[in-house]
């Protein structure tokens, strides 16, 4: 084998070994806030029963993923949307966009993380 072919074969083998150790994941995530209530106002003879959405917070769902591309670097994505549990519509209100909560891609490594897209403030 010529030295250049040998170097190419060794580099290919090293890259394949790095890819074999790379880990990736995709996660479905979210929070559903619904409540059931019953109340009777003073002077009323009957109770009023209700099923509602968003009693404490706004419900949301999403999908996120990450891929280890080797060398301490990772790429990822995060797409989340608000939803109204009471009627199954997406968004916080009519006219809200589908991925209104988060819609971004990331690239990270020892240098930090670069986020491109819509990103909610960390809490």
Give me the pLDDT at residue 121, please: 59
CA–CA dist 83, 4 (Å, integer): 57
Distance, CA of 104 to chain centre: 9
In the numeric block, the tokens 């009471």 are attached to: 86
State residue 108's pLDDT score: 97
The reported pLDDT for the residue numbered 122 is 57
Give strand pairing partners of 100: none
Q: pLDDT tens digits for the chain (123 residues)?
A: 444 444 444 444 444 444 445 578 999 999 999 988 898 889 989 999 988 888 888 899 999 999 999 999 999 999 999 998 888 888 888 988 888 889 999 999 999 999 999 877 554
pLDDT at residue 30, as a whole number: 94
DSSP output for 79-120: EEEEB-TTT--BSSSTT--TT-SEEEEEEEETTEEEEEEE-P
Instruction: Give the count of alpha carbons within 13 A of 104, CB side only.
Output: 13
């Amino acid at each position: 084998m010529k030295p250049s072919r040998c170097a190419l074969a060794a580099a290919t083998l090293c890259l394949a070994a790095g890819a074999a150790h790379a880990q990736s994941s995709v996660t479905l995530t979210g929070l559903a806030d619904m409540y059931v209530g019953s109340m009777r106002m003073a002077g009323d003879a009957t109770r009023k029963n209700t099923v509602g959405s968003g009693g404490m917070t706004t419900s949301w769902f999403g999908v996120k993923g990450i891929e280890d591309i080797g060398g301490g670097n990772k790429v990822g994505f995060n797409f989340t949307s608000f939803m109204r549990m009471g009627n199954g519509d997406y968004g916080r209100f009519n006219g809200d966009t589908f991925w209104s909560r988060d819609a971004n891609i990331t690239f990270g490594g020892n240098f930090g993380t670069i986020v491109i897209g819509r990103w909610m403030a960390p809490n």
